[in-house]
Amino acid sequence: MKSTFRQSMACLHTWTGLLPGWFLFVIFLFGTIAYYQQEISHWMRPEIESGPVSARALDGADAILRQRAQGAGSWTIAIPDGRGGDGFTVSWAKPGAAWGDRTQVMLDPQTGAETAPRDTRGGFFLYRMHFDLHYMPVMWARYLVSLAALAMLVAIVSGIITHKKIFADFFLLRFGKGQRSWLDAHNVTAVMALPFYLMITYTGLVSLLFTLFPWAISASFPSEQAYYKAAFPSAPAAEVSSGPAPVMPLRDLVSRVNHAVPGYKAGYVTVNNPGSAGATLDAYPQYDEFGGARGSVHLDAVTGKVLAVPPAAGGATTTQRVMIDLHAGRFSGWGLRLLYFVSGLFGTVMVGTGLVLWTVKRRTRLPDPDRPYFGFWLAERLNIAVITGTPAGIAAYFLANRLLPHDLEQRADWEINSLFMVWGGVLVWAMARPARRGWVEGLSACAALFAAVPVINALTTPRGLVASLMRGDLLFAAFDLSMLATAALFAFAAWRVLTRRAKVPPRRTPREARGAFA
Amino acid sequence: MRAISTQGVSLVSRIVGATLGAFALTGLLTAATSVLLIRMGADPVEAATGTTIASFAVFAIAAMWVFHARSVLRAWIWLAVIGAPCAVIVLTLGARAAAG
């Protein structure tokens, strides 16, 4: 290849960016939204109040488990952190029963009273969609997501080499100049949060460590189980004591767990063999402490004696934890969280403008723009379907949460199906319509769907925007207002595409096209 | 049917080298480094975790380097020259080899 390093990197950037680009757009968008997954969960469960779990609520859970879960093989208690939204739940099952046969009860985190909010997976689904996708085995999804992230890493590094004038490009955003504007927009959004993209891509790969390159494990350990046994040592076997004995009060057990390791906050607690003298407790943390412990704390659930704490982590394991925490940002307060969210949005726009740039650049070279070759046609349609279809689907997910009847069978699944039905609808529509019309209609559909969310919310719940503002409920008000802002942005984008195309028909400017290097 | 040009073969070979070739090299290098670190006394979990964290950077560098290499043949020779000793290390010193 007789070319300079920069030229070959430009070529590499184009193709490692385009081929996984649609997929990356989806991963970026869902990941960005997932920074607010608990706030979204809260909005999607308007029946419950949010907030940290109180000692009173722990007592309520304790009472329910003692009264109704006698003779159960195990009790589990999921304690959400202060951001809430996911409900404070307890569950239990008969000895030997399958996991799916558990009885689950959700409690109000403040009062401990039993509540039954609508069946939804809330913001948690949007978070899982970010790396587990949907309608496919989780491992396949993680292979695909890891491969896309690896391509993204190569695209970022080759992109940096391609755009050597990074600081000059930062101040250069020319509007209304066709291809130049798309290139400028791509460069500005790329450069603006460049350290964030490198960090988020690399830490994302580390979050799914051993997915793509499991061979360090296969070469270093006799078996995969041997690795897991060494990395996550299990609890010492409890003494087999016969006879009944009551479990210590739940609030004392949780307090003992939290004092066993500095900074530890129990998030998911399992009591094994409650009611017997050999009852034990495993607790996993809430993961909102930066670089905090991952492993479990084990207690004797009758005496409260600490049996095991997570082993001290070495340098590499600590690096891995810090990277995962940097990626997920669970530790961040509202300011840093907003910065994460905005950087993620810029990343989504960076991928989106890169995808559009690929078609804009090639359209000027088409012999007949009305009858492009198949690859161009496909890229253009996929751009419309992904860039406008994904947000439309997410708006539909929120709308379905408010509109589906509460007693619908598998209601939570139907919320998710609604997301994909709308998304698929936009895809079919984009295939059938001329490209410009497809853009305008896709963007308008997004604007309409997002604008409908606060309206439907006000009509179906007592927690509409006006009511929330009067109550001083900032979270609900902020959610509705951000829906309106999103709708306004999509409406503006639709209006721009509609009017600009009419005024300035695309001109063929081969010199400009040759000068651009993206 | 038109004969496939040498340039086309070269491009395909380069793309395969920059993807699968770089992938295989990264896997071998990661595994061999982990095995060597353990032989030098490192904790096995730490060694496997640390080398795998670094593997993504190794892949990115390898992919860009193969993509840019002056000739594809040279790139493949280098992939083999680095990969072969790694494979030997994994096969002779790896945990499964040691366990018999």
Assigned domain for B2 exists: no
Is B22 within 8 Å of chain A by CB? no
- Give the pLDDT confidence of A39-88 residue by residue, as tens digits: 999 999 998 877 788 899 999 999 999 998 888 888 999 998 878 788 88
Q: Which domain holds residue A274?
A: 50-116+234-310
When CB atoms are compared, the residue of A158, A221, A319 closest to B64 is: A158
Is A319 within 8 Å of chain B by CB? yes
- Specify whether A366 is located in the same domain as A489: yes
- Specify whether A456 is located in the same domain as A499: yes
Q: Are A155 and A13 in contact (CB under 8 A)?
A: yes
User: Has residue A502 got a pLDDT over 80?
Assistant: no
User: Has residue B1 got a pLDDT over 60?
Assistant: no
User: Has residue A512 got a pLDDT over 60?
Assistant: no
- Specify whether A304 is located in the same domain as A204: no
- Specify whether A20 is located in the same domain as A63: no
Q: Which residues of B touch A316 (CB under 8 A)?
A: 45-47, 49-50, 53
Mean pLDDT of chain A: 87
- Specify whether A394 is located in the same domain as A461: yes
- Specify whether A164 is located in the same domain as A274: no
Total structural domains within chain B: 1
Q: What is the mean pLDDT of residues A141-163?
A: 90
Distance between B88 CA and the closest CA of chain A, angstroms:
12
Q: Name the residue in chain B with its Cα closest to that of A3.
A: B68
Contacts for B20 with CB less than 8 Å, ≥ 6 apart: none
pTM: 0.90
Q: What is the mean pLDDT of residues A289-311?
A: 86
Q: Name the residue in chain A with its Cα closest to that of B93.
A: A219
Judged by CB atoms closer than 8 Å, whether chains meet at B48 and A8 is answered as no
Mean pLDDT of chain B: 88
Judged by CB atoms closer than 8 Å, whether chains meet at B35 and A154 is answered as no
**In residues, how long is chain A?**
518
Whether the complex's predicted ipTM surpasses the cut of 0.95 = no
- Specify whether A66 is located in the same domain as A168: no
- Mutation pick from A215, A227, A317 vs chain B, by most beta carbons of B within 10 Å, is A215
Assigned domain for A450 exists: yes
User: Has residue A1 got a pLDDT over 50?
Assistant: no
Separation CA A151–CA A159 (nearest Å): 12
- So what's the pLDDT on residue A185? 79
- Give the pLDDT confidence of B26-40 residue by residue, as tens digits: 999 999 999 999 999
Angle at A477 between CA A475 and CA A478, to 5 degrees: 65
Inter-chain Cβ pairs, chain A and chain B, closer than 8 A: 116
- Specify whether A411 is located in the same domain as A295: no
Task: Report which of A265, A284, A271, A262 is spatially closest to residue A238, judged by C-alpha positions.
Answer: A271
Contacts for A326 with CB less than 8 Å, ≥ 6 apart: A199, A203
Assigned domain for B5 exists: no
Q: Which domain holds residue B69?
A: 14-98
User: Has residue B59 got a pLDDT over 70?
Assistant: yes
Assigned domain for A96 exists: yes
- So what's the pLDDT on residue A517? 41
Q: Among positive and negative, which fits the CA dihedral B80, B85, B89, B91?
A: positive
Q: What is the mean pLDDT of residues A468-478?
A: 93
Separation CA A306–CA A514 (nearest Å): 69
When CB atoms are compared, the residue of A153, A219, A220 closest to B60 is: A153
User: Has residue A9 got a pLDDT over 90?
Assistant: no
Contacts for B76 with CB less than 8 Å, ≥ 6 apart: B13, B17, B21
Angle at A346 between CA A344 and CA A352, to 5 degrees: 105
- Give the pLDDT confidence of A350-367 residue by residue, as tens digits: 999 999 998 988 888 888
**SS3 for A268?**
strand
Distance between A19 CA and the closest CA of chain B, angstroms:
13
Most confident of A212-216, A371-375, A485-489: A485-489
- Specify whether A132 is located in the same domain as A54: no
- Give the pLDDT confidence of A320-355 residue by residue, as tens digits: 999 999 999 988 888 899 999 999 999 999 999 999
- So what's the pLDDT on residue A518? 39
- Specify whether A87 is located in the same domain as A153: no
Assigned domain for B64 exists: yes
Distance between B97 CA and the closest CA of chain A, angstroms:
9
Judged by CB atoms closer than 8 Å, whether chains meet at A202 and B56 is answered as yes
